[in-house]
Amino acid sequence: MKVDPADDLGHHSRRSRVIWYPGSTPAYSSLWITIQRFLILNQPSRAAFAGDFLQDNISSRKGPSAHYPSSHPQNDSQIAWGQRTVRLKRFARALNEPVETFRCCHVGQFPELARPYFGEFAVCPHCLGEGFHSVLYSFEGLRDCPVHGTALESPTLLRQLSIELFNTALRNPFGRGQYLQDLLGFPAARTPIAHPQRDLVLGEIAYWLMDVGARCWLGQHGARQAMPLDAFTNRLAGLRVALNLPDHPHYRPNAHDSLAGDSTFQEIATLGSVKVCSNDLVGIDDRRARRHQTDLNLYGKTIFGDFKAIRRYLQRNALNRTGRYWLTRLAQTTNTEGVGALLGQGGAPARRAWLLLAWSRLIIKQEFNPKTGLHTRPIQFAVSADIPLWIANLGRRQLPDDHDFVRLWIARWISAAGLMAFWRSVGSIAEQDISPDVAVLDIALLEVHREPLWSLGITVSNELTLFLDPGSATADRK
């Protein structure tokens, strides 16, 4: 006997469904083409689609129209072109597709540094007929379709397509265009044709563009215009050689992989980028350099923010659910007997949680002490007098929020790398079979605090670069 009808029976389902073919979205598909396929298959009204998948425009929540997203053509264009106004997670859930399907699906997902190199909305007419389009077709370095070899078309470069397609796409990206529907047809809208060769080419371009933003490339600040793509590419190649970086970056979605010790150069976290105008490069004996002041308060706040971010990350990724449970209980315990009892009960997950807690407390106690913290240590640029010193915002009128971001950036990297290296050494303690008698870990166990090996290099074109080698620690201290 049944007391609950099978919820997968159509009209008893509590969840309404949409028309989609999970797994049918080719890699590097643009959000625009995915939405267009969705609109063709499902035929929702504009309001229904907006209600389901578009974010409300917060700034316009004043009148009756506040419940609807802005329909201004320019906004729509921005949405298609990279503004995060589509609820991607919800959209992915409705389509029963993994969120990773929507990686590289609009310009906004690419690093800011690379965005100037995205030009007009461009399409390959043949790919479009097969149900595919990629935002990478707008990348300046790609002129022809990697599969069909045809020239990519844009509003200013029309060959086979009508301007109607581009007008509709740019003015009304969430509206179903009849021209596109006729071009695609329902079979292509259901399941676009896949081309592994295309995926390979677009994958390389996407990796390259992502890599550009994943590192701190210097010397772009203040540029009125983006430098030509060729020059930009050459410059990146030069910096890559100077930094001894591999040609193909490896993405490590698994946090535990990135926690593993590695003696080669590696990035631990992307903390943003700093861009410096070439005018800010001054001689080491320049009076403007001596005049420069460092705001230690800002340093402390920023680095403490980084520490909290790293701690959150470790709590979520280095500890499992059980570990987080023990972390909460251990954090509330105020006496050593209580801690000992909890460690005895919790076993390995509790020990790991305790080490994370000890790591966190030690960092707060030692590193954020105003007298001895990392941010207060002088960072010496060991460069010769012949090479210009690089300090930001010199020679200008001092503003309240004007700070030495370059030095701060270096300090943040070193701080983050040091914190992670320290955690790795602590983590290795957790992996050892420590006797339960050592319930309350003495702080002495955590004495080995390693800072990463770091150095500043300079290229022949006077570009300052930062090297980090967190795996080969040299500076031990108590």
Partner 1 sequence: MRSNLPNHLDPSHPVLKQEYAVFTPPVHAMAQTIGDWIDQRQPGGYIHGPSRFGKSRGVKWHMKSILEERFGKRIPLHIWTRPPDSHVSESDFWVSIGLAVGFRYAPTRATRGDRRRSLMEFLIATASACQSNFVALLVDEAQAMTFREWNWLLGLQNAMDWEGYRISVFSIASHQMDYTYELLGKSDHAHVAARFLVAHWPFPGISSVDEIEFVLKGYDAASEWPAQSGTSYLAHFAPDAYARGARLAPCAGVLWRALESLLPAHYKGDAEFPMQHIARAIEEVLVDAARGEHWEAATSESKWIDALAQTQFTDHMQLISAAVQRKRSAKPH
Q: Which residues bind partner 1 (CB under 8 A)?
A: 1-6, 8-13, 15-22, 41-45, 48, 52, 94, 186, 190
Burial class of residue 465 (count of CB atoms within 10 Å of its CB; 0-12, 13-18, 19+): middle
Q: Pairing between strand 449-451 and 389-390?
A: unpaired
Residue 11 or 371 having the CB closest to partner 1: 11
Taking the complex as a whole, the smallest distance from the CB of residue 69 to partner 1 amounts, in Å, to 17
Comparison of 179 and 313: residue with beta carbon closer to partner 1: 179
- In this complex, which beta carbon is closest to partner 1, that of residue 20 or of residue 299? 20
Dihedral (C-alpha) 8, 11, 14, 15: value to the nearest 10 degrees?
80
CB of 421 to partner 1, least distance (A): 49
**How far apart are CB 178 and partner 1 at their closest, in Å?**
12
DSSP 288-321: HHHH----HHHHHHHHHHHHHHHHHHHHHHTS-H
Q: Enumerate residues 6+ apart whose C-beta is below 8 A from 305.
A: none
For partner 1, the closer of residues 94 and 209 by Cβ is: 94
Choice between 5 and 347, CB closer to partner 1: 5
Q: Is 40 exposed, middle or buried (0-12, 13-18, 19+ CB in 10 A)?
A: buried
* Cβ distance to partner 1 smaller for residue 46 or 221: 46
Amino acid (1-letter code) at residue 353 = A
DSSP run (H or E) holding 458:
strand 453-458
Residue 79 Cβ vs partner 1, minimum distance, rounded to whole Å: 20
Choose between 186 and 337: whose C-beta lies nearer to partner 1.
Answer: 186
From residue 59, how far is each of 50, 229, 412, 449 by CA, in Å? 17, 36, 34, 48
Provide, rounded to whole angstroms, the least separation between the CB of residue 183 and partner 1.
17
Cα→Cα distances 105→29, 101, 138, 198, Å? 6, 8, 12, 15
Which amino acid, residue 206? A
CB of 32 to partner 1, least distance (A): 20
- Chain-centroid distance of CA 350 in Å reads 31
Instruction: Please give the Cα distance from 48 to 129 (Å, whole number).
Output: 26
Residue 368, helix vs strand vs coil: coil
Q: How far is the CB of 375 from partner 1 (least distance, A)?
A: 53
User: Of the two residues 21 and 467, which places its CB atom closer to partner 1 in the complex?
Assistant: 21
Minimum distance between the CB of residue 184 and partner 1, rounded to whole angstroms? 13
